[in-house]
Structure 1
Amino acid sequence: MGTLQKHLYLRGLFTVLFFVNLSLFLQAQEKPDALQAYRNGNYEEAIGICKQEILENSSNLESYVVMSWSLVKLARYDEALGFAKKGLELNRYDVRVIEILGEIAYFQGRNNEAVRYFQQYITLAPEGSRIDVVYYFLGELYIRLGRYRHADIALTTAVRYVPGNALWWNRLGFARENAGEVRNAIAAYEKALSLNPNLADAQRGLERCKQSLTGR
């Protein structure tokens, strides 16, 4: 093969490779992104994308995770439970799946099961991205179970991670009030009201605690 022929051959080869790579790039760009749809609040769209991904690859853990998140956002807990359990079969230590199973159990009223999932999350991911929410859910679960001192500990930890959440401070006040820690409850209620002066539950809780201290 002469020099000119080699040059033309290589040029043609590079051109073919360029268009092949361009085609693959465009296909990747056009492929719908379930996680992005979820983050944009398009939960039905995310579910549809995940279903297609699972049809193409039933071992795609990411699809089960995003599917479960989206279904929980739509309060479709029974459906979410099935997909989350499948995700757990694929990886029993995936903390995202463990956390979402805790949320599903929480919303379905399976309190002790939810506590176990959230405790497992804390063990596996003590600084995980959902650790603040996990402690908040634990606090609410302990309130449901009448374990107010445990609720105090969990919610105190939650507000340490997110100190600007008035609702969490209010629930901390409620837990402390029911644990008999009236002065500490007042501090929590006052913090809640400093963040949101219109929070009626915190206003009522603060009044109850002050009346308890004065005996009126």
Structure 2
Amino acid sequence: MKLRTGIAALFLLALFSAAAQEKPDALKLYRQGRELEAKNRMADAVVIYNEAIEVCKQDLVVNPRNMDAYTIYGWALVRMEKYSEAVTICQEALKITSDHRVVETLGEAYFYLKDYKESLKNMERYIDAAPRGERISTAYFFVGEIYRLNRSFNRAEIAYTAAVYLEPAMSLWWYRLATVRENVGDREGAATAYQRALRLRPDYKEASDGLKRVTV
């Protein structure tokens, strides 16, 4: 009798383990979506992002304080350009606790909604909370974008410089740095930044045109 009970328990444990292994992983789905997006398969990526969101919703039913689920939920919404929904989800999450990943996502969502004041506030909050965070270089880039759009070129130059220092392989970021340096009259610094952009992307026409302007 004990043997049968033991076998039954092992069988149930195996079933539960298999079910756990089969459960979709929201982060894996999100990363699959990013891979599809990188291949210009946005329609397919949206399908996967929506699957990731559904998993997040299920996870939040089980644990309403699951910040990983809130984080991935917000990321997926931003990738699908559902910025207002992303703001709502991030605000709900931040009522529970101040998770720096959610703060940065909220900053991005506000940026694309052109609410630059709220975007800047959240990006600076992220930078203060997570100076070595995974999205720190991106946060500095967005800060640079906000200051550039507000024509605060000196502040934008500082933010872009931090962004390219942390992640030097982004041609757009070097181009943006070059443009603000050009705007403040730093032709030599602008030329260096334009050259770095062209080194990463030789067909970057805007960078090539900029380089010609500052080296004539």
Per the TM superposition, whether the score is higher than 0.5 is: yes
Match for 2:176: what amino acid? Answer: R
Equivalent of residue 103 in structure 1, options 100, 103, 108: 108
TM-score (norm 1): 0.88
SS at match of 1:198: coil
* Structure 1: unaligned runs, 5 residues or longer: 1-7, 212-216
Counterpart check, 1:33 vs 2:39: no
Matches within 5 A, 1:39-188: 39-41=31-33, 42-92=48-98, 94-188=99-193
Match for 1:25: what amino acid? Answer: S
CA-atom RMSD, angstroms?
A: 1.4
Match of 2:206 in 1: 201
Match for 1:82: what amino acid? Answer: T
* Structure 2: unaligned runs, 5 residues or longer: 34-47
Which moves more between the two structures, 156-165 or 96-105? 156-165
Counterpart check, 1:192 vs 2:184: no
SS at match of 1:40: helix
1:144-201 deviations in Å (ceiling 9; x for gaps): 1111111111111111111121111111101111122111011100111122111011
Supply the distance in 2 between the matched residues of 1:40 and 1:210 (Cα, whole angstroms): 44
Runs of 4+ with >4 A deviation: none
Match for 1:89: what amino acid? Answer: K
Supply the distance in 2 between the matched residues of 1:59 and 1:119 (Cα, whole angstroms): 25
1:69-111 deviations in Å (ceiling 9; x for gaps): 101000011111111111111112x111100010011111111
Match of 2:44 in 1: none
1:40-88 deviations in Å (ceiling 9; x for gaps): 1021111222223334443332222111110100001111111111111
Supply the distance in 1 between the matched residues of 2:62 and 2:13 (Cα, whole angstroms): 22
State the percentage of identical aligned residues: 38
